[in-house]
Amino acid sequence: MTVANHERRGTALLDWYEKHRRHLPWRAAGDPWPVLISEVMLQQTQALRVIPFYERFLAAFPTPGNLAVAPVAVVLALWSGLGYNRRAVRLHEAARRIVREGWPSNAVGLQDLPGIGPYTAAAVACFAFGEQLPTIETNVRRVVSRWHGRPLRGGALIEAARRELPPGRAADWNQGVMDLGAAICRPTGPSCLACPVAAWCAGPATYVAPPGQGRYRGSNREARGVVIRTLVDNGPATMVQLATVTDLSVARLGRALEGLVAEGMIEPADAGVYKLAGSEAARKLARRAFPSTVRMLSG
C-alpha cells in the first residue's frame, strides 16, 4: 500500500466520519475524567448499553475527588447492572491515585493507574490529551486487518495502524474506524458496497476473529453479579438468605462470596451477614456528601 493510498483512505474515512459519526455523550468531553469513566465502562460492553450508566455515574462523581472519597458500597450500587463490577473497584482505586498524584498525561503513565490496560490508556491519552497514537480495540483490529489483507495482531497491528494515522487527526481517525466497524465493517455481513474506503481494502475474507468470551450463563461472573445486585437491592444478608433470593447453589454462591470478599467488594459482618464494602459510618457520610446519589439509588 503506497503512502498516497494511505492518505486517500484516511481522507475518505474522515469525510465519512464527519457525516456519520455516532453522537456519544463522552465524545464531547475534553476533560480526561469523563473519558476515563466511559472507556472503563466500554470495556467488553456495547456503547448504547453504557450511556445511561455513564450519565448516572458522572452525575454522582463529576471529578476524581468525588469518587475517591465515596464508599465502595455507593460506587457498586451505581455500577450494578453494568457487569464486571471489578471495573468499578479499580476505577475507584484509580481516582484515589489521581487525587494523590495528579493525572499522567501520556499513555505510558496512564497504564500505571489501577485497572488501566494498554487500550484504555491509549484512548484517554489520545481523546483527552491529544497524543497521536492508535487505540487498538476490536473494531480497529478487524478494519485494519481487512484493509491490509491479513489478520494483524500485536506489534504488527500497532505499526500498521500508526502508519494509517493522518497527521494531527489521531482522535478523529480512531473514532472513525470504531464507527466504521460498528456500522459497516461488521464481523459478519459487512456492507462493503456502502464502505467509504472499499477502493483501498483487500476485503473481508482475510479477517480471522479472535476467540470469543466464555459463556456467561452459569459462570462465576454471573453469580458474582447476582450477589452484588441482591445486596444493592435488599441490603445485608446471610448466605442462607442469599441462596434463597438468588437461587444459586451453595457451591456457586460460596465461590462468588469468597472472590468478592477477597477483592474488597463485599465484607462479612456479625452473625454470618454479608454486606457491600463500607461501614455504616461510611454510608452516613455518603448521605451527607452525596445526597443526589442517595436519591438516585432510592428512586
Q: What digits encode the pLDDT tens for the residues 77-94?
A: 888 888 888 899 999 999
Q: What whole-number distance in Å separates Cα of residue 262 and Cα of residue 157?
A: 36
Across residues 108-115, what is the average pLDDT?
95
How many separate domains does the chain show? Answer: 2
pLDDT computed for residue 277 by the predictor = 76
Q: Has residue 127 got a pLDDT over 70?
A: yes
Helix H, strand E, coil C: the string for 230-298 is HHHHHCCEEHHHHHHHHCCCHHHHHHHHHHHHHCCCEEECHHHEEEECCCHHHHHHHHHHCHHHHHHHH
pLDDT computed for residue 121 by the predictor = 96
Across residues 240-263, what is the average pLDDT?
82
pLDDT computed for residue 289 by the predictor = 44
More confident residue, 210 or 6: 6
pLDDT computed for residue 294 by the predictor = 43
Answer whether residue 279 is part of any domain: yes
Answer whether residue 254 is part of any domain: yes
Answer whether residue 72 is part of any domain: no
18 assigned to active site: no
Answer whether residue 257 is part of any domain: yes
Query: Are residues 207 and 146 in contact, defined by beta-carbon separation less than 8 angstroms?
Result: yes
Determine how many CB atoms are found less than 10 A away from the CB of residue 89. 20
Residues 228 and 294 in one domain: yes
More confident residue, 202 or 216: 202
Answer whether residue 252 is part of any domain: yes
Q: What whole-number distance in Å separates Cα of residue 108 and Cα of residue 267?
A: 34
The single residue of 7, 39, 93, 137 carrying the catalytic annotation is: 39
pLDDT computed for residue 274 by the predictor = 84
Residues 253 and 293 in one domain: yes
Residues in contact with 157: Cβ distance below 8 Å, sequence separation at least 6, in sequence order: 136, 141, 144, 145
Q: What whole-number distance in Å separates Cα of residue 83 and Cα of residue 41?
A: 9
Q: Has residue 67 got a pLDDT over 80?
A: yes
CA 132 to chain centre: 21
Q: Look up the domain containing 260 and give its range.
A: 220-298
Q: What whole-number distance in Å separates Cα of residue 40 and Cα of residue 91?
A: 8
More confident residue, 229 or 290: 229
Q: What is the pTM of this model?
A: 0.79
For residue 34, what is its C-alpha cell?
469523563
Answer whether residue 181 is part of any domain: yes
pLDDT computed for residue 215 by the predictor = 65
Answer whether residue 129 is part of any domain: no
pLDDT computed for residue 254 by the predictor = 83
Q: Has residue 286 got a pLDDT over 60?
A: no
Residues 162 and 189 in one domain: yes
